[in-house]
Structure 1
Amino acid sequence: MIKKVGKQTIRIDSKPRIISAFSIVGPKEGEGPLKDYFDKVISDDLAGEESYEKAESTLLYTAVTESIKKAKLKEEDIDFLFAGDLLNQLTSSSFAARDMNIPFFGLYGACSTMTESLSLASMAMDGGFANYVVAATSSHFSSAERQFRYPLEFGSQRPATAQWTVTGSGSIVLGREGNYPYVTYVTVGKVKDYGIIDANNMGAAMAPAAVSTIYSHFKDTGRNPSDYDVIATGDLGKVGKQITIELLKDYGYDISSNYIDCGEEIFDHERQGTDSGGSGCGCSAVVYCGYLYKNMLSGKFKRILVVSTGALLSTTSSLQGESIPGIAHAVAIEYGTGGV
Structure 2
Amino acid sequence: MRDTAEISSAVGEKANGRGGDIDITTKNIDIRDNAAILSGTFGNGNAGNLRVQADNIILTGSDNESFTGITSSVQKRANGKGGDIDITANNLDIRDAQISSGSLSTGDAGDIRINANFLEILGKGSAIASSTNAGNGGDITLDIADLLLLRGGGFISTTAGRNEAGGDGGNININSKFIVAIPKENSDITANAYTGTGGKVQINSQGIFGIESRTKPTEKSDITASSELGISGITNINAPDTSYIQNSFTRLSPNLIDTNALIANSCISRSPKKKGTFFITGSGGLRNSPNDASISIYSTGEVRSVNDNTSRTWKKGDLIIEPTGAYQLTDGRLILSRECQ
Q: TM-score, normalised by structure 1?
A: 0.23
**Higher RCO, 1 or 2 (CA under 8 Å, sep at least 6)?**
1
Q: Which has the higher helix share?
A: 1
Q: Which has the higher strand share?
A: 2
Decide which structure has the larger Cα Rg and report it.
2
Q: TM-score, normalised by structure 2?
A: 0.23
